Amino acid sequence: MKEATVLGLGASLAVAISPTYVNAEGTKQTKHYAMLVDLTRCLGCQACTASCKAENNVPFGVFRTWVERHEKGTFPDVSLQFVPRLCNHCDNPPCVQVCPVQATYKREDGLVLVKDDRCIGCGACIKACPYGARYFNPIKRVADKCTFCQPRVDQGLEPACVTTCVGRARVFGDINDPSSEISKRIGRKPVQVLKPALGTEPMVFYIGLDVVQVR
């Protein structure tokens, strides 16, 4: 991958459960899922938040994805920037490192997930996440978060938030596949990640992110 300001290669949506596939050159390759959010296209409509709630039965009062509003400039030259937030599915996830029972784990294809039957609800991973992306599920009594809609991805579908984005601000795919839409988009414009200095290597990339405003 490239550096934080012009990060990496992109990729297209995988259509098989296996984390590997044969590329155009006939070489076996491992998928690596990521998401790109183009803030110049985000309308702040919250369609992603609503569809995520419905798709994943997210309880009242907590969110797997949400949209922040940030003011830019000084009066009278003020504008709003809408910033969708979610789990960053980091390549170096601190939540995995602190889990005492290995309930939180990282799949070969990059998805960071939680095994509900193993989670003891200690909250260590929630505290360790520097992005505030985890919460305690009051119904399941376990730690919970965005999974990139893992059941949908395993069926070759896109995450619900991607399919319902009216501005087409979200793009999801395998960043190891240079022919994919996410690869092409990242290759055309500079991208940013949240809190790059932490070394977590987030797999959610942004176009047009004001890192000074968003913390």
Mean pLDDT of the 152-176 span: 97
How would residue 9 be classed by pLDDT, with cut points 50, 70 and 90? very low
Domain ranges for the chain, please list them: 4-207
Return the beta strands (E) in the chain as ranges: 20-22, 28-30, 33-38, 66-74, 77-85, 104-106, 112-114, 135-137, 142-144, 170-174, 204-207
How would residue 46 be classed by pLDDT, with cut points 50, 70 and 90? very high
Mean pLDDT of the 149-170 span: 97
Q: Which residue has the tokens 């803030």?
A: 39
User: What pLDDT was estimated at residue 177?
Assistant: 93
Predicted model pTM? 0.85
Mean pLDDT of the 181-206 span: 96
How would residue 2 be classed by pLDDT, with cut points 50, 70 and 90? very low
Three-state DSSP class for residue 153: helix
In CATH, what is the architecture of 4-207? 2-Layer Sandwich (3.30)
How would residue 8 be classed by pLDDT, with cut points 50, 70 and 90? very low
User: What pLDDT was estimated at residue 4?
Assistant: 34
Asked if residue 18 has pLDDT above 90, the reply is: no
- Looking at every residue in the chain, the average pLDDT score rounds to 88
For a pLDDT cut of 90, what percent of the chain falls above it?
79
Pure H helices in the chain: 47-56, 94-98, 124-128, 150-154, 160-163, 181-188
pLDDT tens digit string along 83-127? Answer: 999 999 999 999 999 999 999 999 999 999 999 999 999 999 999
Mean pLDDT of the 165-172 span: 97
